Structure 1
Amino acid sequence: MSSPSTAPTRTPVRRLITVVLLVPVLAALALWAFAWPAARTAPRDVPLGVAGPAAATAPIEKRLGEREGAFEIHRYADEAAAREAIQDRTVYGAVVATDRGPKLLTASAASPTVAQLLQRTVAPQAASGGAQIDTADVVTAPANDPRGAALSASVLPLALAGIAAGSMVTALGPRGVRAAVALLGAAALVGVVAAAVAHSWLDVLTGDWWAEAAAFGLSTLAVGGAVAGLGALAGTAGAGIMAAVVMLLGNPFSGAASAPHMLPEPAGAIGQWLPPGAGATLLRSVAYFDGAAATGPALTLAWWAALGLGAVLLGGTLGARAANRADTADEKKLAPVT
């Protein structure tokens, strides 16, 4: 039989061992989530247009096909159609067969990384005999952010804002409608402040101001609602799990720094189903492409927000019923026996 004096020390020792073992696991998970996509960045079925007569584009398509799996070829009748597809965010760029030789169309606003890739790899492949190829940037990145660094840097602050809002609602205890109103108000203010900083001050966004504010706010609400919703149903642990998913998967898998098609699968697809990736795609669409291809990411964020707020309201209802049952039980205990 162990002495009573040694028993209390076991729990701290076990906790110490748990910390020692858990921290390396978390570090390995974080390194995998952030370093793996960065180390495996490469084109994977990047949508690319080829425009012109079939006889002229066939050799170009053949040369592009030598990089198996790198590009998903879309065919267009002429340069005007290819430009329209780029502006609609159907393709990242296009190779146009002209009388003077191939011409490369890019869109640095869609992804500076992909635009540079096309100039570095597609242009030499499209041209024959080492000839020079003309290049035109159809939708240019803003002069104050030519590399897209500011837009990609906005993903983490928005995620942190959403996590903070959801965590504070979980910790401070407002339930039901009050919690939902708090999340909506915080997201709206974040959207206005973020648009004021990125558009009005830094001048790195060039779209409609209110559309950009709405994109910022919806991204924050999607994260905040998800964190608070799971917190309302599963407590602090639930909020922590959702925050970890956003930080360890949503941010590195967002593709904001390059493009979803440049990430290894299934990271690129997963990232677009999570709020940070959908938010970055939506912001790029409204900031540089007049809202083209914004419906998909907007719906993704709306679903996250709706499910999160629904869980918050449900958690509030369940909590109120539990409190009422507890009060009723207390009243019965205190009632005098007749």
Structure 2
Amino acid sequence: MSAIRRLIAVVLLVPTVAAVALWAFAWPAARTAPRDLPLGVAGPPAATARLEKQLTRHEGAFEIHHYADATAARDAVEDRTVYGAVVVTAEGSELLTASAASPLVAQLLQQAVAQQAAASGARVETVDVVAAPAADPRGSALGASVLPLALAGIGAGALVSLLGLRGVRAVLALVGAAALVGSAAAALAHSWLGVLTGDWWAEAAVLGLSTLAVSAAVAGCAALLGTPGIGAVSFVVMFLGNPFSGAASAPRMLPEPVGVIGQWLPPGAGTTLLRSVSFFDGAAATGPALTLVWWAALGLGAVLLGAQLKPGPTRAEPTTEARRSALVT
């Protein structure tokens, strides 16, 4: 490639990458709003019908789930079936929220229900059923953990590939690095900062699995496609997985189909799984756990397959002349 062509490529490529990055990060953030957000309603049919009619004025904002009583509604919040619930009683209305699931959603529900109550002159009491930890009431630390884990996974996968580790050795290196990252991250987030409050070992396992899902995918694509595979997976994880994860808000707060896509990628699945394990005793953990296992298994399988398809250089047998020269010397 001539110098002029290289110059043109750089001039065109850099703005393109910047534009894609700006779109991926800024567009979902600028369009944050509830989209079919699961919300429970419990109480007498006549009262809940009026409430539901008021809530559905925001077309497409809420997905209403009906429950027989306050106990069932609370269970639904704790099981992560809904983000919150409104319980209508003779004494007034009660809003059940779970700021641990998303502080932004909890605040939004308080505002929406308070507006409806103010219009009708009713009183609303808010109960945070599953509260965010006192050390991270806004969920900022949890949201900020997505990028470092993604970078750790990309770095581990790229390093294994560039150092020439292959087959079983590469798999052992990836698993070992992910285990250490998970332990270190749990020590920082749980033991030191106090932003995670669940079982320490379960949190370390989730953090390690999130890292392994990325690192295995990077190393696996590199084993099959070469160095371009590192760039391909890094692009998907950084420019799609990170901003589409919904870590700072919630998947149902992102434009469609961004929220769904984000949960198919390791950063989004890892964030959802970490919330479930740390704050909800593992409720609704099966889906994101399977997603991470799927990424890790396919990546490690690709690493082993690449070692079989592209065997390393074998040591050549010395020729007769070489053996004679060795004997003479």
The interval holding the TM-score normalised by the smaller chain is: over 0.9
SS of residue in 2 equivalent to 1:72? strand
2:44·2:89 contact (CA, 8 Å) conserved in 1?
no
Aligned residue among 272, 276, 283 for 2:267: 276
Cα deviation code 1:204-234 (max 9, x no counterpart) = 1100000000000000000000011001000
Correspondence for 2:237: 246
Q: Which of 47, 50, 63 matches 2:41?
A: 50
Once residues 179 and 16 of structure 1 are traced to their aligned partners in structure 2, the CA distance between those partners, rounded to angstroms, is 37
Partner of 2:32: 41
Shift of 1:130: 3.6
Q: Aligned pair 1:184/2:168, yes or no?
A: no
Aligned residues of 1:60 and 1:126 also touching (Cα < 8 A): no
Q: Equivalents in 1 of 2:130, 2:136: separation in Å?
A: 13
Task: Indicate yes or no: 2:180 matched with 1:204.
Answer: no
1:306 partner amino acid: A
Shift of 1:129: 2.2
2:287 corresponds in structure 1 to 296
Find runs of 4+ consecutive structure 1 residues off by over 3 angstroms. Answer: none
* Alpha-carbon distance between aligned partners in 1 of 2:97 and 2:80, rounded to the nearest angstrom: 11
Distance of 1:126 and 1:29 partners within structure 2: 43
101-110 or 256-265: which moved more? 101-110
Q: Which residue of 1 aligns with 2:143?
A: 152
- Report 1:318-329 matches (<5 A): 318-320=309-311, 323=313
Partner of 1:70: 61
Q: Does 1:225 align with 2:222?
A: no
**In the TM superposition, what is the alpha-carbon distance from 1:124 to its structure 2 partner?**
1.7
Q: Which deviations, in whole Å up to 9, do the C-alpha atoms of 1:93-133 show, x marking residues without a partner?
A: 00111111221111100000000000111332255424331
| Structure 2 counterpart of 1:18 | 9
Matched residues, percent identical?
73
Name the aligned partner's letter for residue 295 of structure 1. Answer: T
Secondary structure of 2:226's counterpart equals: helix
Work out the CA distance in 1 between the residues paired with 2:80 and 2:114: 20
CA distance in structure 2 between the partners assigned to 1:187 and 1:254 by the alignment: 20
SS state of the match for residue 244, structure 1?
Answer: helix
What SS class does the counterpart of residue 120 from structure 2 fall into? coil
Secondary structure, aligned partner of 1:135: strand
Residue of structure 2 equivalent to 1:84? 75
Q: Distance in 1 between matches of 2:233 and 2:316?
A: 32
Deviations 1:64-102 (A, max 9, x none): 010010000010001110110000000000011111122
| Letter aligned with residue 181 of structure 2 | V
Residue pair 1:223, 1:304 contacting (<8 A) in 2 also: yes
Q: Give 3-state SS (helix, strand or coil) of 1:252's partner.
A: coil
The one-character-per-residue Cα deviations of 1:233-258 (angstroms, maximum 9, x if unpaired) are 00110111101110000000000000
Query: Which deviations, in whole Å up to 9, do the C-alpha atoms of 1:18-62 show, x marking residues without a partner?
Result: 000000000000000000000000000000000112122110011
SS in 2 for 1:194: helix
- What per-residue deviation string (whole Å, max 9, x for no partner) do you get for residues 192-214 of structure 1? 00000000000111000000000
Conserved? CA contact 1:253–1:271, under 8 Å: yes
Letter of the aligned partner of 2:156 in structure 1?
Answer: A
**Is there any run of 5+ residues in structure 2 with no aligned partner, and where?**
323-329
Letter in structure 1 aligned against 2:214: V
Give the conservation status (yes or no) of the 8 Å contact 2:273–2:288: yes
Q: 2:241 & 2:169 partners in 1: Cα distance?
A: 27
Within the alignment, does 1:134 sit opposite 2:125 as a pair?
yes
> Residues 327 and 230 of structure 1: is their aligned pair in 2 closer, same or farther, counting only changes over 3 Å?
farther
Q: Is the 8 A contact 1:124 1:130 kept in 2?
A: no
Q: Which amino acid aligns with 2:163?
A: L
Matched, 1:314 2:305: yes
Check whether the contact 1:101–1:127 (CA below 8 A) recurs between aligned residues: no
Say whether 1:215 aligns with 2:206.
yes
Instruction: Report which stretch shifted further, 49-58 or 173-182.
Output: 49-58
Query: What letter is aligned with 1:314?
Result: L
Residue 5 of structure 1 is matched in structure 2 by none
In 1, Cα distance between the equivalents of 2:117 and 2:74?
18
Q: Structure 1: how far apart are the matches of 2:94 and 2:118?
A: 9
| 1:173-195 deviation per Cα after TM superposition (whole angstroms, max 9, x unaligned) | 10010001000000000000000
For residues 53 and 158 of structure 1, the distance between their equivalents in structure 2, rounded to whole angstroms, comes to: 47
Q: Deviations over 1:289-331 (max 9, x none)?
A: 01111111000000000000000000011111x746x969x99
* 2:107 aligned with 1:116: yes
Does 1:262 pair with 2:253? Answer: yes
SS at match of 1:82: helix
Q: Distance in 2 between matches of 1:239 and 1:126?
A: 53
TM-score for both structures, normalised by structure 2: 0.94
User: More displaced, 300-309 or 311-320?
Assistant: 311-320
> Which amino acid in the other structure matches residue 205 of structure 2?
A
